[in-house]
Structure 1
Amino acid sequence: MEQYLTVIFRTILFYVLILIIFRLMGKREIGELSILDLVVFIMIGELAIIAIENPKQSITTTSLSMILLMFIQIVMAKVSLKSKRFRDFVDGKPTIIINKGKIDEDAMRKQRYNFDDLLTQLREKDIRSIGDVEFAILESSGSLSVIEKKYNKDGQPQEGDITIPLIIDGKIEEENLKRIDKTNFWLRRELQKMGYQDVRKISFCSYENGKFFVDIIDEM
């Protein structure tokens, strides 16, 4: 009887502790979990299971391990917010699988992503034909974001583009500039025309269909 009471007590205790830890780590949807989040969540869950199944396992030791993992995740999340390079290393980058209606087989090979995967995820979004897709982006979470083609009154497809980040956290995205066949000099010149002299003060700048969107870093 005492053993059952111990299991019940530990189950409730670690259930409450895990709820508190996950709440402190911030709100995330399951599909948006990074590799770092996933590893921490799995380890915390495993620690709780071991402590519940083994009554001899110290509650204090297990709780300290779980809290330590929480602090590691919080610190890493803050580093990720400040460093895009670290963010890309941990989470990876989104990959454009279909660009303006054209499938990028090279990008698929790099991501070890095949046509069965593509068709499955398109069906999940109620898209019957690849020919209806203007853009398909494989997100770092593994989900597929899809933008369908738009047609005018004559039934002809309308050309468009997706939002292309050119500056993130004050740093110019050279790869995205190459993608739109533009240069660093061109970007700085266009920003200066709009009154933005210092790239480092821009938190986010995107370019879509010939138009810029610019957001300045909030001054503390």
Structure 2
Amino acid sequence: MIEWKRILLNDLSPNFLIEVSFRTIVMFTILLLALKLTGKRGVKQLSVFEMVIIISLGSAAGDPMLYDDVGLLPAIAVIIVITIYYKIIIWLTAKSPKFEQFVEGKTQCIIDEGEFSIHRFKKENLAQDEFFLELRLKSIEHLGQIKNAYIETNGEISTFYYADEDVKYGLPILPQIFSQKSEVIPKNGTYACSFCGNIQELTVAGGTCDNCLKKEWVPAIKTIRRS
């Protein structure tokens, strides 16, 4: 015989459904804020908001499937509350650009004219090695090939290139070259700051970057991009 009371509510009071609704809203909001703090790269290909929806619905649906002490009605209430909350947030994002930017994030320019936009790069919690990996996968050898690069709201990197005739000296991102960064300048020439990509003419006396005040340099290169 099917025990409907146990299946639907287990030993819980029907009033618990109200508490479930409150718990759901609180945990959904906390999860949204937590994922925003991890940065866009932690939720690549999905917006933070989409990731929260997936996690919340998956958690609500999974427990009553697996555990006999979890009633169906509380789980159904969670799904209904999430759906209503989702509709409200979507409505608010359509009405308020500021709220939309808070929920979905904002596209940021992290490479401008072949150099890092330092403050924006730091804000995105994006490791330099990880970023260089993304660029190498696009057949990029140095930052001087890039006019602009953006980190999109879903964590993807969009790049826009200089024409071949406009490519300039840039910071090499190939590991075997970048690993040679040093404060020691072996000979006079064109060098790139290993931190921000700023290009300067240096002598063996060395120098401090005019942009970020760092002192480690890599010999700059100027090659066109190979598709």
Superposition TM-score, scaled by structure 1 size: 0.52
Task: Give 1:129-140 correspondences, 5 Å limit.
Answer: 129-140=142-153
**Whole-angstrom CA distance in 1 between matches of 2:166 and 2:60:** 58
Match of 1:82 in 2: 95
Task: Give 1:89-168 correspondences, 5 Å limit.
Answer: 89-151=102-164, 155-157=165-167
Deviations 1:171-195 (A, max 9, x none): xxxxxxxxxxxxxxxxxxxxxxxxx
Query: 2:153 aligns to what SS in structure 1?
Result: coil
**What count of residue pairs does the alignment treat as equivalent?**
127
Structure number with the bigger relative contact order (C-alpha 8 A, sep ≥ 6) is 2
Deviations 1:26-55 (A, max 9, x none): xxxx85533222112101101111111112
**Whole-angstrom CA distance in 1 between matches of 2:95 and 2:141:** 41
**Whole-angstrom CA distance in 1 between matches of 2:56 and 2:86:** 12
Q: Is residue 144–residue 167 contact of structure 2 (8 Å, CA) maintained in 1?
A: no
Give the AA of the match of 2:46.
L
Give the AA of the match of 2:77.
L
Deviations 1:163-212 (A, max 9, x none): xxxxxxxxxxxxxxxxxxxxxxxxxxxxxxxxxxxxxxxxxxxxxxxxxx
Q: Is residue 37–residue 73 contact of structure 1 (8 Å, CA) maintained in 2?
A: no
**Whole-angstrom CA distance in 2 between matches of 1:130 and 1:157:** 9
More strand by share: 1
Match of 2:49 in 1: 36
Q: Is residue 115–residue 143 contact of structure 2 (8 Å, CA) maintained in 1?
A: no
Alpha-carbon shift at residue 122 of structure 1 (Å): 0.9
- When the two chains are superposed, the root-mean-square deviation of aligned CA atoms in Å is 2.3
Larger Cα-atom Rg: 2
Q: Is residue 145–residue 167 contact of structure 2 (8 Å, CA) maintained in 1?
A: no
Which 5+ residue runs of structure 1 have no aligned equivalent? 3-29, 159-220
Superposition TM-score, scaled by structure 2 size: 0.50
Deviations 1:120-173 (A, max 9, x none): 11123332332211110011221111111113xxx3459xxxxxxxxxxxxxxx
**Whole-angstrom CA distance in 2 between matches of 1:63 and 1:124:** 44
**Whole-angstrom CA distance in 1 between matches of 2:78 and 2:122:** 39
Match of 1:61 in 2: 74
Structure 2 vs 1, CA of residues 156 and 121 (structure 1 numbering), >3 Å: closer, same or farther?
A: closer
Query: 1:141 aligns to what SS in structure 2?
Result: coil
Query: 1:131 aligns to what SS in structure 2?
Result: helix
